[in-house]
A and B are shown apart, each in its own frame.
Chain A
């Protein structure tokens, strides 16, 4: 009885503490933070955190565009953040309020700022690439020694795609992460805004179209791990998740990921504060906490994406740091490009090309 009373009192005191410093509402990608990060932050600061997740930038953007989302910290990809900034959705970030901003990788941050044409939008949380994941054995069986496992041609060359069709080929349903790379495969600059090049890229995709199993953004993780598909254009972190799941299941499928030599786009997910955030002080406290080297390293060791935090690298699992698909070599980095933010007219062209490709018309 006494014990129950004591526990109740502790509970009351603890909840009192949680409310004393107010609240913080965070909206982040699903599976994009270490399992104990939020709990540790709550324990340390007493701030009552509400943590919600989304699985697409589009959903986040629609929610923020409608206004009064109620969130204090969100994590959009840089091009979406840039558009949101033009709409007045996001506030300026005051870096002087973030002591640990010194830990940030200035090169990566500069690339993101260049893409957004904006210095005050937010801080890079994680970054990654788009590339090709494949099932080692199934590709070897069908394409033999000369399988071009360093090129977009593995999927974008119709001759290869036709040979792989029976074991399953998939492409991300993300026009801005696929079309620029098809343009790079054609030997043209991937960071172009020339509508004509997007039409050309559409023509390349339409030739591959009959050999595709599907065009989908999240289905490939499971299917790749189970061996239901054998080659797919995927985001780097998703490919590693598939590889890890196949290894855990011990089903004999070895999944590899590579950044094609023709180059690929780099993308950045940014910590940003909405203009109408109510708990701005707590949002800064949380960002500062996330920018600590040990916290950032802990997150990377869980999600397997490259961090925007340079100081964290000392504490990141060496296997991740040495992985060319996550932390690309200096040689590979030369081929990475950053796409500009498209205007409304180009958006229409890009999405029309994409709709015609996906529907096969």
Chain B
């Protein structure tokens, strides 16, 4: 009781700054970390018919405390690894090339926006973000209307005499990539813009004065200084793109089985929430471990550089 009183008396000491940090942390803990822990937990359970459709991992029964831990879901993934490896590769390939195409389009666009006058910058940025204000599903359906054999592009091409027969654009890699780039492009433009707008124009002028050519300025100044934007934008595009389910499902053909669809099948068709969770956890590990490792290496190198001591000495 006295502890509580002291705690309450202490409350005004909670500064606004702490609150500002605590709120997003609580948010992340509740809506990001807890679901992740739940997914990890479900990946070690046994499926059953019931609510929920898996046996609880631990609990108190008639015989007291019990646990119900199995690694069988991961063993199943190993046993049928070829059924999961192909789709995983397809997804990573799709995400990788989507990221590359996004980067190729976004880099000059972001540069152009960053070098515009202040008034135009706002207008152009709003135009980049405008698509987010409509449902992505509606935009994809509009795309289907454009690309269909009876769609606008084919009709226009036929009318102008550019083509003799409708081109098959839907249900191909082409339509998937158009959908991916259209959906994810803003996520690449914004971080690039953020670093480019802070880039000091005097540096470019100085380099030009000292006789550097355009490509040289790009290679020695612009590119190194915009790398943080490239990394941030690429991660923002790549990570959600790997798990993308809707775009390949709506725009793609049946031959490109993606990880999103495999997860869907495990979850909805096999009703095997544990195996679906195991796939999600494994995919997460495969994608995040290299990134964390790279950052860790990066941090070590920087730390060594600063202290000018060998790594072993740490």
Contacts and interface: CB of A to CB of B under 8 A. Distances in A.
Interface in A297-324: none
Contact of A228 (B53, B87, B150, B262): B150
A355 to B, nearest CB: 6
A66 B52 contact: yes
A352 B80 CA distance: 10
A259 B118 CA distance: 66
Contacts of A58: 268-269
Interface stretch (A86-94, A95-103, A279-287, A327-335): A86-94
A55 B86 CA distance: 29
Give the interface centre of A56, A88, A228 by most chain B CB atoms within 10 Å: A228
A213 B148 CA distance: 13
Interface in B255-299: 255-257, 262, 265, 267-272
B34 to A, nearest CB: 16
- Chain A's interface size range is 20 to 34
Interface string B1-35: 00000000000000000000000000000000000
A358 B254 contact: yes
Contacts of A62: 267-268
Contact of B53 (A87, A351, A352): A87
A347 B257 contact: no
A360 B49 CA distance: 31
A61 B53 CA distance: 11
Given A228-B148, A228-B149, A351-B265, A88 B50 contact: yes
Given A86-B49, A89-B51, A361 B253 contact: no
A214 B270 CA distance: 22
A213 B272 CA distance: 30
B83 interface: yes
Main secondary structure of the interface of A (DSSP, over half): helix
Given A227-B150, A228-B149, A228-B150, A347 B270 contact: yes
B47 interface: yes
A213 B171 contact: yes
Interface in A157-216: 175, 212-216
Contacts, number: 75
Contacts of A228: 148-150
Contacts of B268: 56, 58-59, 61-62
A116 B268 CA distance: 20
B306 to A, nearest CB: 50
Contacts of B267: 62
Nearest to B262: A355
Contact of B257 (A61, A83, A358): A358
Contacts of B255: 359-360
A137 interface: no
B56 to A, nearest CB: 13
B150 A66 contact: no
A359 B150 contact: no
Interface in B40-89: 47, 49-53, 80, 83, 86-87
Interface string A327-361: 00000000000000000100110011011101111
Contacts of A348: 270, 272
Give the interface centre of B47, B52, B267, B269 by most chain A CB atoms within 10 Å: B269
A213 B172 CA distance: 10
Contacts of B51: 65-67, 87-89
A344 B271 contact: yes
A202 B47 CA distance: 26
Given A228-B148, A355-B262, A344 B269 contact: no
B265 A214 contact: no
Nearest to B149: A228
A151 interface: no
21 contacts: A58-B268, A59-B268, A61-B268, A65-B52, A65-B271, A66-B52, A83-B49, A89-B51, A175-B269, A213-B171, A213-B253, A214-B253, A227-B150, A344-B47, A344-B270, A344-B271, A347-B270, A347-B271, A359-B255, A359-B256, A359-B257
Interface of A: 56, 58-59, 61-62, 65-67, 83, 86-89, 175, 212-216, 226-228, 344, 347-348, 351-352, 354-356, 358-361
Given A351-B269, A352-B83, 7 more contacts: A83-B49, A87-B51, A214-B254, A344-B47, A351-B265, A351-B270, A361-B86
